[in-house]
Structure 1
Amino acid sequence: MRTAGTVLWRDIAERLATEIRSGTWAVGERLPPEEALAARFGVNRHTLRQAVASLAEAGLIRVRQGRGTFVNTAPALEYRVGARTRYTERVTQQNRLPDGRLLGSSLRPAEAEAAARLQCEEGTPLIVLELLRMADGLPISLVTTHFPAARFAGIDRQFEAHRSITQALLHFGVQDYRRSFTRVSARLPGKEEAARLHQPPREPLLVVEGVNVDPAGCPIEYSIARCPAERLQVVMES
């Protein structure tokens, strides 16, 4: 037989769970402080803590000591990096809906790192795209990607039309390409990165650099993806 106190904390847990599942609280968002939630539901802190513990056990939230209580993320996306790495394919294989948004594009002279990766002279004109990639509407990565302008003039418009790098490259006759270089590191996000990725500023990013080459071995793309570490697992294929 349940006591009134038991019923109360379960009711609070169910109400908060409904709000989380309906999107009232976004993934990664911090819930109001304990005292605010206790006041909202008209209960003492002990009862509120029972409700919070129940939600944490169910995997809907995570409690960070000294930092607060956050809505849990969806299961991490497994991003397998191999000879043929395609974002859309990797996401759809996990029954999730991929999407990509063009945040901006520009024509820039190649700096030292991009020039080395693309095997061109410093100062060579490059088209640089800034992309936001998502899975099921959840931001997965911010990507800065570079293409030789002489070969890929207008690739920004092609990406905007198809929302896929692979489809955009087809327009320029690139039927296939493969990954020739990958480097993974980690760091904290900048303020704008945290805002665009909807993640706390103290949560680390995975930084995944990559070079793709065409069938002749000519570099066609150098990309730098910044990904919330809790939302993406990088798996290196041999």
Structure 2
Amino acid sequence: MTTARRPSLVDQVRQGLLDDLVAGKLVTGDKLPNEDRLADRFGVSRATVREAVLGLLEAGYLTRRHGSGTYVTKAPRSRHALDTTVSYTAMIREAGHTPGETVISKALREPTPFEAEQLVLGAGEPLLEVERVRLAGSRPVIYSRDRIPAALLDGIAQDALDSSLYVILETAGHPVSRASAELIPTLADDKLSELLEVECGTPLLHIDQVDYDARGRAVMLSLEWHVADAFELIVNRRASPGPADS
């Protein structure tokens, strides 16, 4: 039996400071409290604080200015695995930011042939398209176009569509069980530049996703453009059975 290593005092101080960075309690340009204050806060020695801060200096999150002090240079990005479906409202909140959104449009329309095929819509069955920009605090971080069969949203008030669509689908009896997503690196064009408040040509992550309920029905098509430095999205890969070349 293996025993998990208990985090050292240095690890605890380092993690506490990292938590402050992720939560926005310390932001780029802020001066770090002095060693005495940090030692009192964490109940450790100044030497322990010094070692913890050194680790963050080496990682590039802090910098020292001679004769002035230690300052925040950047915040670590919140990491999220892509092997599970994610509510971006929850993801932004877990990253220590206040989630918000700007709804650009909500409209019923006829599906394209591709959308009708993907969502298994019959002739004359409309879909609802919601176009939004998600905010982390005041910063735009995701632009999305979500399309849902209108029949799934019977009885759902239009105003409710301003909240998490995953929650709305669950309320409607179609909770998302799995998703298939294609990840495509792209660059911001004029429209994306304006919506996400980045310069033209800024790298973005584009995600083309289909969400399915527990019965295997496609319930939502999503096109998303993520500001690349807002979140760290990771893919967990499992080894396939049998021998494989690396």
Give the TM-score normalised by structure 1: 0.61
Question: RMSD between aligned alpha carbons?
Answer: 2.9
In the alignment, structure 2 segments of 5+ residues that lack a partner are 1-27, 31-59, 64-72, 238-246
Query: What is residue 166 of structure 1 aligned with on the other side?
Result: 166
CA distance 1:78–1:116, change in 2 (3 Å): farther
Residue type at the aligned position of 2:221: Y
Paired with 1:155 and 1:211, the residues of 2 have a C-alpha distance of 23
> Against the structure 1 CA distance between its residues 73 and 111, is the aligned structure 2 distance closer, same or farther, given a 3 Å change threshold?
farther
**Residue pairs, 1:167-182, within 5 angstroms:** 167-174=167-174, 176-182=175-181
- Cα pair distance change 1:73/1:221, threshold 3 Å: farther
CA separation of 1:145/1:74 partners in 2, compared to 1, >3 Å: closer, same or farther? farther
Counterpart for residue 36 of structure 1: none
Amino acid at match of 1:166: Y
Shift of the 195–58 alpha-carbon distance from structure 1 to 2, 3 Å rule, reads farther
Q: TM-score, normalized by length of structure 2? A: 0.59
CA contact (8 A) 2:183 2:207 kept: yes
1:233 maps to 232
Preserved contact between residue 111 and residue 122 of structure 1 (Cα < 8 Å): no
Matches of 1:199 and 1:144, distance apart in 2:
19
1:174-225: CA deviation from partner (whole Å, max 9, x where unpaired): 3x31232110002222212111111111212211111111121111111010
| Gap regions ≥5 residues in structure 1 | 1-19, 23-55, 60-71
Q: 1:76/1:195 Cα in 2 relative to 1: closer, same or farther (>3 Å)?
A: farther
In structure 2, C-alpha distance between the alignment counterparts of 1:198 and 1:144, rounded to whole Å: 17
State the number of aligned residues: 171
Q: Which residue of 1 aligns with 2:149?
A: 148
Contact 1:80–1:234 (CA under 8 A) maintained in structure 2: yes
Query: Sequence identity, in percent?
Result: 19
Does the 8 Å contact 1:145/1:224 carry over to 2?
A: yes
* TM superposition shift of 1:123: 6.4
Identify the residue that residue 85 of structure 2 maps to in structure 1: 84
CA distance in 2, matches of 1:122, 1:114: 12
- CA contact under 8 A between 1:141 and 1:227: conserved in structure 2? yes
Question: 4+ residue stretches of structure 1 with deviation over 3 A?
Answer: 56-59, 72-77, 119-124, 153-156
- Structure 2: how far apart are the matches of 1:155 and 1:83? 28
- Greater relative CO, 1 or 2 (CA 8 Å, sep 6+): 1
Q: 1:222 to 1:122 in 2, by over 3 A?
A: farther
Aligned partners of 2:61, 2:214: CA distance in 1, in Å?
Answer: 50
Q: 1:95 matched to which residue of 2?
A: 96
Give secondary structure in 2 for the equivalent of 1:92.
Answer: helix
